[in-house]
A and B are shown apart, each in its own frame.
Chain A
Amino acid sequence: MNRRSFLKTTGAAGLLTCSGLAPMLIEMQAFTQNSNLSKVEARFYKKHPDREIECILCPRLCKLGDKERGYCGVRENIGGTYYTLVYGKACSMHIDPIEKKPLFHFLPSSSALSIATAGCNVNCKFCQNWEISQVRPEQIRHVDFPPEAVVFTAEKNSCPVIAYTYSEPVVFYEYMFDTAQMARKKNIKSVVITGGHIKPEPLVELIKVVDAIKVDLKAFSQDFYTQYVRGELQPVLDAIKIISKSNVWLEIVYLVIPTLNDKPSEIRKLSRWILREIGPDVPIHFSRFQPMYLLKNLPPTPISTLVEAHKVALQEGLRYVYIGNVPGHKSENTYCPKCQNTIIERIQYHIRKIEMLDGKCKFCENPIPGVWA
């Protein structure tokens, strides 16, 4: 794709390219095309008689008649064929440090061109991006930003990573997949920031084209998933296991919400499960909750609760345990599990110091798991 055809394809990305490009939030307002939805056939669904279909992308397995949309709100049965309405329809676009995802063991301090479309396949009461995740694509401003334009923009802005994030990339699977496939040809890596609510078959296919996945594990109890997520825990655990057995880098985030999923016994159970099923080297981030969306009646997570969760996970044998959303906390840093020296020093999304060489601790040469170059 040359510059001319690129600019013709996407006005928004053109703005990004011409702007000189410090990391910036793209102003979407000028590019409203609300009724301009995509009509690209979905990849994971079954056709049934009488123009009915069954979506097999996520564990909900929505069964839909003609003109109906799935729970995600961005896929529609039109005359017996299932379509994604958000292919190439980005509603958010930003260049973020990779630490914001957070991915702490994946190309530290690199810039990630981050994109999202409308929609999500769960409805977390604490969603921080509900204005884009809990709406239909026609209810939000979006721009035409096809895969080739995403890759071109990343390349032009020296972003070694494209992140599929903010809402739930599973619901824009086809868009993400094709973009990742194109990006790989240009040596640009793809990272997925997801709730992990996906069926094994599409996940296994996705793993072939992406480089890292961060899973938001919302709790370690089905009750919580039923009440606060409107989803299921087991498929998320299954997804984590599948990713851990692949070559894709995996990190886990656990948002600690006061009184709802913060019991040390639950954290202990979770840590033991991770140790048993995945091993001690997967980074886990205990993040601080801030009241929002439908959970405004709870206070932010006390730091002491996060410190306790961190302690429990370390006690259980996990080696890379972090505290998130508490800028300046010492548990934002990476410590060598062998010599205990600080090997990556962070303040929020910024790297202050890296004491590693060829993926090893500079002090004791202990190999540190991750993707470092």
Chain B
Amino acid sequence: MSTVVIARGNNLFSPSFEMNDKSLAQMYTQGLFTLTGQSKWKDCLHSFLPTKEKVGIKINTIGGKSISTRPNVALCLAQFLSDNHDQNGDVVVWDRTNRELQDAGYKLNWNRRGIKVFGTDTQGIGYNQNLISHLNIGSLFSRIQSNHISSSISLAILKDHGLAGVTAGMKNYFGAIHNPNKYHDTNCDPYVAEVFASSLIKKKHRLTILDGLIVQYHRGPSYHSRWAEKQGMLIFSFDPVAADTIGWQIIEKLRAKKGLPSLSEEDREPRYLKSAEKMGLGTANFDKIKIKEVVV
């Protein structure tokens, strides 16, 4: 049985859509404490992150400011890690390019001590030159993923995806390879699962968190305000497949509520989840997923 925790923040947004950082921090606290069964931050983090690890938070900023992992969300988590975890060096918040990070509202930082924020295209970083061939995948991996970090948290935005069905925690790692455009055929299946299953991802992945504060439930992955809805939730799981499966369910519920056909009816249900389950990466079976909800 896999556990997925959904933390909802009732007072997360002010009437003018300002995010309440205190409420966000409480969502993290209650969400992660519930997932780990711990009640102190140090114990909570050490339960899934060994000490002296170099921790990377892989975010998704391809959608620009409106539909990317929000800076408050990523930096709040990074601060918790920085303050409470005995790690090796600074926490790295990262994605493919500095341009995308900046477009999504992040301030780059790779010089000073503290939380680092930078893209793979930063001078001196780039992609590892060893081509990694795994099943149907042949890719160069970001040096951030291969060299700079030893533990990874996928902190992804949850949204509808025209090809994959949904893009969430697993597909977020497409941003760790140099050629994600080559893996969008056949509903991105089995490629999402196969990229995740490559040793550089699978062995380092520790936790999935989905940013479901505002969910794009139709015509994604690009932002369309009329098909995006405030949900005010963060989703946590150690099981990457279960987290995405619940993310899919949330999108389907929103689609049904809005009178839209299901993803299955549009022939784009996230097939990669079944492939991932078959590969032993987690469970895509709703009956084997225990959902715990906490409200802040």
Interface residues of A (CB under 8 A from B): 34-35, 50-52, 63, 65-73, 123, 125, 130, 134-136, 138-139, 230, 293-294
Contact = CB atoms under 8 A, between A and B. Distances in A.
B239 to A, nearest CB: 29
B97 A138 contact: yes
A72 B181 contact: yes
Contacts of B179: 73, 123, 134-136
B162 A50 contact: no
Contacts of B221: 65, 68
The main secondary structure of chain B at its interface with chain A is loop
9 contacts: A63-B162, A65-B219, A65-B220, A67-B222, A125-B138, A134-B138, A136-B181, A230-B182, A293-B131
B121 A138 contact: yes
B183 to A, nearest CB: 9
B277 to A, nearest CB: 24
A136 B127 CA distance: 12
Nearest to B161: A65
A26 to B, nearest CB: 21
A125 B179 CA distance: 14
Contacts, number: 58
Nearest to B184: A71
Interface in B54-71: 62-64
Nearest to A69: B181
Interface residues of B, number: 24
B11 interface: no
B217 interface: no
B221 to A, nearest CB: 6
B267 to A, nearest CB: 14
B178 interface: yes
A139 B127 contact: yes
A139 B122 CA distance: 11
Contact of A50 (B62, B182, B185, B224): B224
A316 to B, nearest CB: 34
Contacts of B62: 67
B133 interface: yes
Interface string B176-192: 00110110110000000
Given A34-B121, A73-B179, A139-B127, A230 B185 contact: yes
A42 to B, nearest CB: 16
Contacts of B64: 67
Given A34-B121, A71-B184, A293-B138, A135 B178 contact: yes
Interface of B: 62-64, 97, 99, 121, 126-127, 131, 133, 138, 162, 178-179, 181-182, 184-185, 219-224
B222 A65 contact: yes
A87 to B, nearest CB: 18
Would you list the 7 A-B pairs with minimal beta carbon distance, nearest first?
A65-B222, A66-B222, A294-B138, A73-B181, A123-B182, A71-B181, A294-B133
Given A52-B219, A73-B179, 18 more contacts: A34-B121, A35-B99, A50-B219, A65-B219, A65-B221, A66-B222, A66-B223, A67-B63, A70-B181, A71-B181, A73-B181, A73-B182, A123-B182, A134-B138, A134-B182, A138-B97, A138-B121, A294-B133
A69 B163 CA distance: 13
A32 to B, nearest CB: 9
A65 B185 CA distance: 16
Nearest to B98: A35
Contacts of A125: 138
A137 B19 CA distance: 37
B227 to A, nearest CB: 9
Contacts of B131: 130, 293-294
Nearest to A123: B182
Contacts of B138: 125, 134, 293-294
B240 to A, nearest CB: 24
Nearest to A125: B138
A230 B136 CA distance: 11
Contact of A139 (B63, B99, B178): B178
Contacts of B178: 134-136, 139
Contacts of B184: 71
Contacts of A71: 181-182, 184-185
A63 B268 CA distance: 14
Contacts of A123: 179, 182
B182 A68 contact: no
Contacts of A230: 182, 185
Nearest to B64: A67
Contacts of B220: 65
A68 B159 CA distance: 15
Nearest to A80: B222
Nearest to B179: A134
Contacts of A68: 221-222
A179 to B, nearest CB: 25
A70 B180 CA distance: 10
B159 to A, nearest CB: 11
B140 to A, nearest CB: 8
Contacts of A73: 179, 181-182
Nearest to A71: B181
A34 B122 CA distance: 11
A230 B126 CA distance: 26
Contacts of B63: 67
Contacts of A134: 138, 178-179, 182
